[in-house]
């Protein structure tokens, strides 16, 4: 026997409210409409649903069981409505974000934590990837957005890029590095110490090559490579090694005081950190809300980062 789910919902509402008029008001229906539905339900099951002469209305044993099922349907319907509203507002759902490792570890992961505090019902799925993998993942709809440093010439058709932070690289070292005692740094000073090589595929690798060209060298004394951001920070803190890092990454580590900026001017890439999306691709409201959170967070950070950058006495 198939029963009309709406009739079960109305039965539950009438019993919970204590009367037909009250139950109808709870559901936003008219009293005659609900009365007709209950009469149809009773006719369908062939048994009375209410005890006669009882006020407020009291169910028969069968009415009690059917009302319980009606409450389950009401609860499921409300949860479904909440899910739809939450999805449309971006307060529920899944955000799939890809990003370059150093920026994700140094800055974006913290912003993900802040976002999760604001939107606890949104799940963020993060993946490490560089630009080529990110483009492929966006084209195949495996991620909603990417956070990547990119140059103007790197952006192909079919993608849109929203800048969130201008690019700026620095040479990083431990706070008590011997070179920090030099009154004036020269190019050959950089060749006297070991270096950390960026991760394979990282745009920092080409930046390191630019530094080599600027100081007239073909090679550097690389003594560590392939490490995560935390590994690189630990290596720098324990050795006299140098590494090229985004200034914002070093800035993000300022409270730990384990790495600092070597005030030597190096060639700067024509790149900016930003959010990469596919033009015309599906737009998840939760992903758009997350992108807005990241954009706002960097807008607030830009001025602080710039002040720290201006505080460095470059080329001393």
What pLDDT, on the 0 to 100 scale, is given for residue 217?
A: 74
What are residue 148's DSSP bridge partners? 274
DSSP 59: B
Measured CA to CA, the distance from residue 171 to residue 265 in angstroms comes to: 8
Dihedral, CA of residue 265, residue 267, residue 268 and residue 270, to nearest 10? 160
Q: How far apart are CA 84 and CA 233, in angstroms?
A: 44
Residue written as tokens 């560089």?
A: 130
pLDDT in tens, 273-308: 999 999 988 889 999 999 999 999 999 888 888 888
Given a cut of 70, is residue 313 above it in pLDDT? no
**What residue has token string 């966006």?**
138
Calculate the alpha carbon distances from 262 to 44, 102, 182, 221, 250 in Å: 83, 19, 10, 17, 11
- Residue 240 in contact with residue 178, Cβ under 8 Å? yes
Helix (H, G, I), strand (E, B) or coil at 233: helix
How far apart are the C-alpha atoms of 27 and 15, rounded to whole Å?
12
Domains defined along the chain, listed by start: 5-89 (1.10.10.10), 93-163+274-314 (3.40.190.10), 169-261 (3.40.190.10)
Distance CA 249, CA 234 (A): 14
H/E run at residue 311:
helix 285-311
pTM, rounded to two decimals: 0.78
Does pLDDT of 316 surpass 60? no
In the predicted structure, residue 311 carries a pLDDT above the cut 80 = no
HSE-CB at 315 with a 13 A cutoff on CA atoms is 3
How much is the pLDDT for 137? Answer: 96
The residues near 4 (Cβ < 8 Å, ≥ 6 apart) are: 37, 40, 41, 44
């Amino acid at each position: 026997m198939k029963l009309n789910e709406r009739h079960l919902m109305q039965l539950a509402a009438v019993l919970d409210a204590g009367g037909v008029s009250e139950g109808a008001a709870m559901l936003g229906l008219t009293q005659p409409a609900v009365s007709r539905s209950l009469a149809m339900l009773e006719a369908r099951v062939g048994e009375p649903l209410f005890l006669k002469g009882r006020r407020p209305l009291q169910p028969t044993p069968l009415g009690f069981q059917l009302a319980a099922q009606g409450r389950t349907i009401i609860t499921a319907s409300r949860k479904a409505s909440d899910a739809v509203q939450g999805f449309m507002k971006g307060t529920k759902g899944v955000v799939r974000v890809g990003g370059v490792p150093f920026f994700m570890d140094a800055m974006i992961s913290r912003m993900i934590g802040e976002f999760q505090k604001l939107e606890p019902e949104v799940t963020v799925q993060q993946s490490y990837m560089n630009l080529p993998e990110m483009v492929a993942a966006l084209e195949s709809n495996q991620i909603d957005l990417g956070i990547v440093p990119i140059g103007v010439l790197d952006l192909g058709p079919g993608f849109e890029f929203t800048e969130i932070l201008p690019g700026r690289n620095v040479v990083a070292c431990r706070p008590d590095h011997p070179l920090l005692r030099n009154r004036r740094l020269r190019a050959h000073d950089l060749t006297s110490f070991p270096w950390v090589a960026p991760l394979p595929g990282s745009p920092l690798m080409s930046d390191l090559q630019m530094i080599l060209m600027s100081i007239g060298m073909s090679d550097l004394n690389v003594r560590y490579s392939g490490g995560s951001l935390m590994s690189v920070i630990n290596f720098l803190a324990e050795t006299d090694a140098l590494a090229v890092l985004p200034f914002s990454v070093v800035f993000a580590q300022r409270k730990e005081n384990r790495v600092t900026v070597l005030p030597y001017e190096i060639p700067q890439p024509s790149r900016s950190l930003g959010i990469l999306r596919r033009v015309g691709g599906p737009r998840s409201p939760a992903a758009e809300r997350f992108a807005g959170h990241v954009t706002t967070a960097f807008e607030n950070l830009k001025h602080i980062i710039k002040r720290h950058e201006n505080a460095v006495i470059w080329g001393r």
